[in-house]
Structure 1
Amino acid sequence: MGPLGLKGDLARDAIIRTCTSGLPARELFAQVGEKLRPLVPYQSAGWLSTDPATMLYTDAMVENVDGALHLDFFENELTAPDFAKFGEIVRRPERVAILSEATAGDPELSARHRRLHVPNGYSGELRAVFSTGGACWGVACLTRREGDPDFTRAEAEFVGSLCDHVAHGLRTALLLAAVDESRPADAPGMVVLGPDGAVESVSLVAEELLAEIGTGGLELPDAVHAVALRARHAAGGVPRARVATRTGRWLVLHAACLRDRGGSGERVAVMIEPARRAELASLVVELYELSEREQQVTQLLVRGLATDEIASALWLSRHTVRDHVKSIFAKVGVASRPELTAKLFAEHFLPALEG
């Protein structure tokens, strides 16, 4: 039996079945939470989808969390030093963390605990990262009421045993959306956020695109707040995230600070546009979990090189190249080179890999 006994094993089996059902991310999170809560009780939770390339949040399903507090947690995670950050947990083998353990029994050391947990009546915190092959597809943060027992090591181990399966479910949900890119492209939209993060102006196209994402109870989708916060605190560059919409297509969000003539950069502009095939190429590689060598072989396959030419270019045997090709076809779900080329967006796949 697992760390929570027979009841835990039965609940785990039910959660695994849920994760293999091809559910959209929000519905997947809702059902996982419903099955998890009797075994690992919690007062509130945030379940967030992430862009696997950047770990920026692209969507959220929250339970018993005020919208403003939800954004405060975002800001803590993206901009403030603290304990048990998701970017740190993703590098751990077990991919879970209890805040009290991370602070050696003194959660007051955590700015998140002092500024967000205590004033809102929260106490224990358990975090989990849903990742596969180094790519993070989502995260979760569970909290308990002040005065309730803290999360236990057995509960953390149980949640950790689910991480692979939830990651698989999230990856499958993205894959089902990513393979459908048949819709026509639209013009980009623009949202301008003020110093307090409120919307100052928004284009009509942006309103239409934002409606496709959904807001999760907030004025704007989580992904907009995430890239805007990153832009405010980034030393340089243009933060970006890719988001799957409710209609099945993908959008790309870019954010940049707007500076007035005095040099102040308190406002942030977020550009929203349908993803071009080049934007999706690297995501598709991650979705199909191609290894580095398989990416190299794929690059040469879609260029039209023969097996012997690929073997010579990569210093491999013909037999090894054939094995890689079989593995690539199996992962991508095709039976021939033309099918592979079509499915991986030939006109943009190579530049994305080379970049």
Structure 2
Amino acid sequence: MAHPHLRAELLSAAERAADARELFSGASAGLRRLMSFDAAVWTATDPETGLVTAPMVVENLGSGEGCAAYWESELLEENVLPFRDLARADVPVAGLRAATGDLPARSARFRRLLGGQGVDDELRAVLRIGGRPWGSASLFRMRGGPAFGSDEIALLADLSGPLADRLRRFARPSGSDAGPAASAPGLLLFDEHGEATSINEEARRYLALLPDGPSTPSALGLRLPIWLMGTALQARAIANGRERGSARMRIRTRDRQWLTCRASCLSGPGGQPGPTALVIEPATPADMTVIVAQAYGLTPREFEIAQLVARGLPTAEIATTLFISPHTVRGHLKAVFGKTGICSRGELVARLFAEHHRP
């Protein structure tokens, strides 16, 4: 690989990054020394649903309104290289012109947005590890630039895992994390066109806690973060049959409280499309247990055993419950202890199940 020392410097800077925003800014700067691009979007994603969450770093692409249209096209239109497909692809990186035979207008995203903004090519990447997407990146070359080549695709694919691993570790609990505060859910309603029409005071309070990032104006007199808009758009995509799964993402507030955002489309009289309801509330114990386990890279079996440990089951009973041998249970526990950096069952319960909540 060309310039291995520059790649090493990029990864070293990623290890030193204090948070995801600093990681994205540093990775973008490091990549500019390895390949040319004119603009970029870096964002964290929820590792279960792949929906965008905070932070999002946008370079040289203007306002949040453009970001809103970008994600609307991503979720509601027929596009080439959607992130959901890249997340499952053998190689989680692809260039638009390379994928379309140098005919980028085959993509609705290009026809509606990118072409008019002077973009010639887009290089997309999902930052994934352990089968989970922890972030995504889009690099853009403006008019007159060459298409992204196979070497550049391979370079970014090689960085996907290490950058995802660093993002994953940022999700691990720390002593400064705040537990979920008891509060009524926040509620926003969107009409069938995606326009925000109603909001309660609890939602306003939660919005005030969210980190800074791209946003779009609304008729409610406040700007709505792109992460919330993406969750509402996902609900519409599911209702239209374009997506499967759930419209849900988790986000950390400025005071390090975890919130969960869920959206679903309602129906009106005669089954006609109704509004989309988006609920914001403190993350539940189940939400936090799962994301913390993912942040440590536990396998489904390791997480299952950790849950049984939290219930107080001894090794022999865990083995009987899961139809495996006690030796296998002890092997999985050893792996869990190694990944979480602990050495006892009590510490395991505290790390995975009690630092944010009581099970």
**TM-score, normalisation: structure 1:** 0.88
Kept in 1: contact 2:64–2:226 (CA 8 A): no
Alpha-carbon spacing, 1:348–1:212, altered in 2? closer, same or farther (3 Å): closer
**Which residues of structure 2 form unaligned runs of 5+?**
216-222
Whether 1:97 aligns to 2:105 is no
Partner residue of 2:325? 317
Matched residue, 1:45: 40
The match for 1:15 is 10
Deviations 1:189-209 (CA, angstroms, capped at 9, x unpaired): 122334554433333322221
Give distance in 2, aligned partners of 1:262 and 1:313. Answer: 48
Query: What's 1:293 paired with?
Result: 301
Residue number in structure 2 paired with 1:334: 342
Task: Quote the offset at 1:125 in angstroms.
Answer: 1.0
Q: 2:143 aligned with 1:146, yes or no?
A: yes
Aligned to 1:220: 224
In structure 2, the CA distance between the partners of 1:67 and 1:266, relative to structure 1 (3 Å rule), is: farther
* 2:80 paired with 1:83: yes
Q: Among 49, 52, 67, which residue is 1:54 paired with?
A: 49
Q: Which amino acid aligns with 2:59?
A: E
Q: Which amino acid aligns with 1:72?
A: A
Match of 2:84, SS state, is: helix
AA partner of residue 64 (structure 1): N
**1:343 and 2:351 aligned:** yes
The structure 2 residue matched to 1:162, chosen from 159, 162, 168, is 159
1:54 alignment partner, SS class: coil
SS at match of 1:256: strand
Distance 1:28-1:39 versus aligned 2 partners, 3 A rule:
same
What aligned pairs does 1:143-292 form with structure 2 within 5 A after superposition?
A: 143-176=140-173, 180-182=177-179, 184-218=181-215, 219-235=223-239, 239-259=247-267, 264-265=272-273, 267-292=275-300
1-structure distance, mates of 2:175, 2:138? 27
Which stretch shifts more, 136-145 or 92-101? 92-101
> 2:60: which partner in 1?
64
Q: What is the DSSP-based 3-state SS (H/G/I as helix, E as strand, rest coil) of the residue aligned with 1:305?
A: coil
**CA RMSD in angstroms, aligned pairs only:** 2.7
Contact 2:214 2:226 in 1 (8 A): no
d(CA) in 2 for partners of 1:205, 1:299: 33
- Give the Cα separation in 1 of the matches to 2:231 and 2:104: 28
Q: Is the 8 Å Cα contact of residues 299 and 350 (structure 1) preserved in structure 2?
A: no
Q: Report deviation, 1:258.
A: 4.7
Comparing 255-264 with 225-234, which one deviates more in the overlay? 255-264
Hey, what's the Cα distance between the residues in 1 that align with 2:128 and 2:59? 22
Distance 1:348 1:27, change over 3 A: closer
Q: Distance in 1 between matches of 2:53 and 2:353?
A: 23
Q: Which runs of 5+ in 1 are unaligned?
A: none
- The alpha carbon displacement at 1:349 in A equals 10
CA shift in 2, pair 1:263/1:325, >3 Å: closer
User: How far, CA to CA, are the matches of 2:175 and 2:73 in structure 1?
Assistant: 30
Aligned partners of 2:179 and 2:356 also within 8 Å: no
Q: Percent identity?
A: 38
1:140-179 CA distance string (max 9 Å, x none) = 1111111111111111111111111110121111224698
Per the TM alignment, residue 123 of structure 1 is displaced from its structure 2 partner at its CA by 0.6
Of residues 19, 27, 33, the one that matches 2:28 is 33
Corresponding residue of 2:220: none
Name the SS of the counterpart of 2:171 in structure 1: helix
- Encode CA deviations 1:35-72: one digit per residue, 9 max, x unaligned: 21232221221111111110111132111223222112
Q: Which moved more, 1:228-237 or 1:166-175?
A: 228-237
| TM superposition shift of 1:24 | 1.9
Q: Per the alignment, in what secondary structure is the counterpart of residue 277 of structure 2?
A: strand
Moved more, 286-295 or 183-192: 183-192
Rounded Cα–Cα distance in structure 1 between residues aligned with 2:149 and 2:129? 25
